[in-house]
Each structure stands twice: as structure tokens, then as C-alpha cells.
Amino acid sequence: MTTMAINLWQQARLQTAIWISLAAVLFAILVGLVLVASMGVPLTDAISAFAEGAWGSPYAIAASVNRALALGLVGVGFVLANRANLTNVGGEGQIALGGIAATAMSLYGGASHLPGPLPFIVPMIAAALAGGAWGGIAGVLKAKVGTNEVISTLLMSFIAVWLVYWCVQSESLLRQPMHNTATLPESLEIPEVTKIPLLTGDYSMPLHWGLPIALVLAVIVAIVLDKTVFGLRLRAVGLNPVAARRAGIAIVPSILLVLFLAGALGGLAGAFMLQGDQYSLKARFSSGYGFDGLVVGLLARGSVPGVIASALLFGFLRSGGINMELAAGIPSAIVMVIQGVIIVTLAGAAFWMERKRSGK
């Protein structure tokens, strides 16, 4: 009887959360539309440019979905760490580290000589490990010195972004050999075999194998969080670390593992971006995907299906925004305004959610 009541209560809460998220998104889009209108661009032009760029062609759809993949992986990592009440804002750095590792492994790590599908799998694993290590450092600092993971992961994001810059500026690291002064500061293109194969085999719709991989990972994380002892332990650590420790849950390994895993998902996102889309490492490689991924995680309010929905929303928003700038001359920065409004509205709305729960 009690379980049923709790289930109903949880369901009601989930529904409120979904409605609030939807309301925030709609409100933000409305703000965006008002901005577009105030710039003197006909709304129909803007909307058709947006639609064209977001889902107007098979290529556009694939590009949007590929963007959503990276955002979604970071978002799933955020939700995972957040279950233990840890806030991983280091997605940007974890993507960057993943990109560096995947590039290094593809170009110089001998991955291209491996048999079978290994040439593109090994760099992905390297990227996940690198991102995981980057997240793990924050875990070590948290567990050993009590450093707030928000501050450490944020600082490490900036360090990592400049590490990418360093790697592509220095020939002794990942910069392509300089033939003349016009040689761009970026890495060589990775070998064909290390690129993630396309699902369709056709570049007019460049969906790649990252899509099923990411979906499988998302399902695994959802199951781990909701149906396993490990997920329950994370929740206990997050809700009340003192009680969790009394109950015999090892706090330090839980923190380390969960921040490692969140980082690994970010690193994998970096591998997807590099091996599935950009194919060579450039400065500003991560280009805000980590911070957007954080927002995706936030928007999802702790649920993995929520991550998928908001990752798709942001992936399509980004694609559509880019085309709005190209085709209708509207700054794609409007998409940032929309995202900012979503975050601020949701963060503010959390107040009413809490108040409702505590029954005040």
C-alpha cells in the first residue's frame, strides 16, 4: 500500500517536473521569437531558415542528431554524478581531453594498424579513459581535501581547453607538420579507418555508429541508476552522506567512481565529435558543448529519458540557429539567449518544486 502511494507521489512529481521543463522551454522560445521580431526579420523567414537547418534535409537531421549525441553523453554523465549530489560542470574539459586522446591515438598511437573494428574503437576507449581521469582528479580532490567539485571541474575545463590549444600549436605535440606559414594550427586529419563508420555509408546522411553506442550507454546508466544496488548507494551518498557511511557504504570509492564515469562519458563525447564529425583537432574544439551538455543534464531533472529529450532539443536548436544566421541573417547567439532563459527559469522554478515537496 505504502509503496503504491510513494509510486503515485513520485509519478506526480515527475509530471510536474516535465510540465515545468516544457513551460521553461516554451517561454524561452517565445523570448527568442520576440527578439527575432524586434530585429525586423519576418518571423516566417526566421522559422523557415531554422527548420531548414534543423531538420530540412537528411543531412541536417543527421547533423542535429550528431550534435545531440555529444550533448547527451555529457548530460547522462551529469545526471549520473548528480545522483550522488555531485555537480560535474567539467564536461567542456572532459570533451577536450577526449578529443586530444582520440586524436593522439588515431594518428600516432598505432590504432590504424589494428584489425577489425578496433581502429575506431581503441581511440574511443582512450578518449573515455582520458576524460575519466580528468573527472577522476576532481573526485580525488573532493575525497581527499574536500574541494568543491564544481570549482575544481570548472577550473579544469579552462585548463583543458588551453591544453587543446597547446596541442595544436606545437609541432612536437599534435600540430600537423608545417610546410609553410599558411599551415593551419590544427592536427592532421585522422586516418580513414579510425573514423567512426557511418550507419548509412553515405555522407548525405552522416549518422554514425555513435548513435547506437550512446543509446546503449544511456539505457545502461538508466538501469544502473534505478534498478541496481549501486544506484541506490549513490542516492544514499547524495541524500545523506553521514547516514550512508553509518550504513556501511564506502563514500570515497563511490565519489571517485561516479566522477570518473561522468568524465569518461564526456571524453567519449569528445571522441564522437572528433572521429564522427570534425576528423581533425582544432583550437576551440569543444566549442561550448560541455557547458551545453551540463544544461541538458540540468534540464533532464535527473532522468535519463529526459536527457535524451533535451539533448535532441539542444542539438536541433544549435543546427537551426546556425542556419538562421546563414540564411536569415539572425545572429545564432539568439540560441544562447534561449538556453540562458531556460537555465535561469528552471533554476528559479526549483524553489516551487521544493516548496511543494516539503508541503509548506
Partner 1 sequence: MSVEMVAVFAGSSIRLAMPLLLSAAGELVSERAGVLNMSVEGMMLMGAFGGAMGSLYTGSPVLGLLIGIVAVIPVAALQAFLSNTLRANQIVTGIGINILVLGATTTAYRAILGSRSRTEIPGLDKWAPPFLGDIPWFGDAVFHQTWLLYAGLVVVAIAAWVMRYTALGLAVHAAGAEPRAVDKSGLSVTRIRYGAVFFTGFMSALAGCFLSIGDIHTFTEGMTNGGGYLALAAVIFGNWKIGRTVLACLFFGAATALQFQLPAMGINVPNALLIMLPYLMALLAVGGLVGRQSAPAYLTQAFVR
Given 14, 61, 150, 249, the residue binding partner 1 (CB under 8 A) = 150
Should residue 51 be labelled a site residue for partner 1 when binding is judged by CB under 8 A? no
Q: Which residues pair with 208 in a beta bridge?
A: 198
Minimum distance of partner 1 from residue 351's CB (angstroms): 4
Minimum distance of partner 1 from residue 163's CB (angstroms): 7
Specify the residue, 23 or 151, whose C-beta has the smaller distance to partner 1: 151
Q: Which stretch binds partner 1 (CB under 8 A): 8-16, 115-123, 200-208, 335-343?
A: 335-343
Q: Whole-angstrom Cα distance, residue 299 to residue 50?
A: 22
Should residue 264 be labelled a site residue for partner 1 when binding is judged by CB under 8 A? no
Q: Whole-angstrom Cα distance, residue 312 to residue 318?
A: 10
Should residue 334 be labelled a site residue for partner 1 when binding is judged by CB under 8 A? yes
Minimum distance of partner 1 from residue 229's CB (angstroms): 28
Should residue 343 be labelled a site residue for partner 1 when binding is judged by CB under 8 A? yes
Specify the residue, 227 or 284, whose C-beta has the smaller distance to partner 1: 284
The amino acid at residue 124 is M
Rounded to 5 degrees, φ, ψ at 208 are -120, 180
Q: Which stretch binds partner 1 (CB under 8 A): 95-103, 202-210, 308-316, 347-355?
A: 347-355
Specify the residue, 137 or 196, whose C-beta has the smaller distance to partner 1: 137
Q: How far is CA 197 from CA 99, 237, 311, in A?
A: 17, 40, 22
Should residue 151 be labelled a site residue for partner 1 when binding is judged by CB under 8 A? yes
Given 155, 188, 193, 232, the residue binding partner 1 (CB under 8 A) = 155
Residues 293-332 that bind partner 1 (CB under 8 A): 294-295, 298, 331
Specify the residue, 125 or 167, whose C-beta has the smaller distance to partner 1: 167
Specify the residue, 6 or 159, whose C-beta has the smaller distance to partner 1: 159
Minimum distance of partner 1 from residue 35's CB (angstroms): 6
Should residue 338 be labelled a site residue for partner 1 when binding is judged by CB under 8 A? yes
Specify the residue, 118 or 143, whose C-beta has the smaller distance to partner 1: 143
Of 120, 76, 126, nearest in space to 258 by CA: 76
Given 171, 200, 340, 357, the residue binding partner 1 (CB under 8 A) = 340
Of 317, 273, 259, nearest in space to 69 by CA: 273
Q: Which residues pair with 282 in a beta bridge?
A: 186
Q: Whole-angstrom Cα distance, residue 135 to residue 157?
A: 10
Should residue 125 be labelled a site residue for partner 1 when binding is judged by CB under 8 A? no
Residues 22-41 that bind partner 1 (CB under 8 A): 35, 39
Specify the residue, 139 or 210, whose C-beta has the smaller distance to partner 1: 139
N-terminal to C-terminal alpha carbon distance within the chain:
25
Residues 6 or more apart whose CB falls under 8 angstroms from that of 308 comprise 72, 218
Residues 156-185 that bind partner 1 (CB under 8 A): 156, 158-159, 162-163, 165-166, 169-170
Specify the residue, 308 or 338, whose C-beta has the smaller distance to partner 1: 338
Residue 141: how many CB atoms within 10 A of its CB?
A: 18
Given 16, 48, 87, 287, the residue binding partner 1 (CB under 8 A) = 87
Q: Would you tell me which residues interact with partner 1 (CB under 8 A)? A: 35, 39, 87, 89, 141, 144-145, 147-148, 150-152, 154-156, 158-159, 162-163, 165-166, 169-170, 291, 294-295, 298, 331, 333-344, 347-348, 350-351, 354
